[in-house]
Amino acid sequence: MTTTATPTTTAGPFGGSAINHSRTTATAARVLRQLRHDPRTIALMILIPCVMLFLLRYVFDGSPRTFDSIGASLLGIFPLITMFLVTSIATLRERTSGTLERLLAMPLGKGDLIAGYALAFGALAIIQSALATGLAVWFLGLDVTGSPWLLLLVALLDALLGTALGLFVSAFASSEFQAVQFMPAVIFPQLLLCGLFTPRSAMHPALEAISDVLPMSYAVDGMNEVLKHTDMTATFVRDALIVAGCALLVLALGAATLRRRTP
């Protein structure tokens, strides 16, 4: 008697359905093949954070301590912003072109699709975060007390959070222009309230309370922990877990709100 192997699935939070590993990896491979033929998008994702850090370093050329104080925070913020933009537009393009509708007509669940996109863009996020961290620490002279590997970890988590946010908001946009319009609503408030410009404890109590529920606040806090402490602190672990948890939550919401096509 012969037995037939069945595809491996894992119950997951994405839309309440199981994740099929083979379909997820096939989706990720398809997205990466498409991106390979789009060098401008790859350049935006991988090079722009490095270029922004390079410019920032020499904007504060006469005050290197200023670069040290905000460079680590921006090392996490720049990847988040670029991954948000690229992912939201790329996913929306799939839907408006009818590709998404054809894919979901096959035995491909929403969870498989979202996880595949997250896997593909996550692979690029690793490259992006590694290049930006290496540039900031070993070339631009960013002075950090802790391990650069912890900086890389937070930068990667921030990039994955940006990917998750981009996948989520793409469900509510009907054009690429609308997808870009979500940036002021989703990113800018977090940028203002994350503690980059002033300590969150110095804000108005209402704004401080809002900042306490925004994931970018914990990304900046995590970077600051590496900036000030030689060892991994409990606060750093908490911040990293919160950013990772927010990314998973937003991915689950993205799977739940994913539409087959734009009306």
Q: What is d(CA 97, CA 218) in angstroms, rounded to the nearest whole number?
A: 37
Band (3; pLDDT cuts 50, 70, 90): very low
Region 98-127: mean pLDDT is 74
| CB 164 within 8 Å of CB 254 | yes
Indicate whether 23 pLDDT > 80: no
Question: Taking the CB of residue 11, how many other CB atoms lie within 10 A of it?
Answer: 10
Give the N- to C-terminal CA distance of the chain in Å, as an integer.
50
Residue 259's pLDDT is 61
Residue 244's pLDDT is 92
Global pTM value: 0.80
Helix (H, G, I), strand (E, B) or coil at 9: strand
Tokens 């959070």 correspond to: 161
Q: What is the pLDDT of residues 47-63, one digit of tens each?
A: 888 888 888 888 888 88
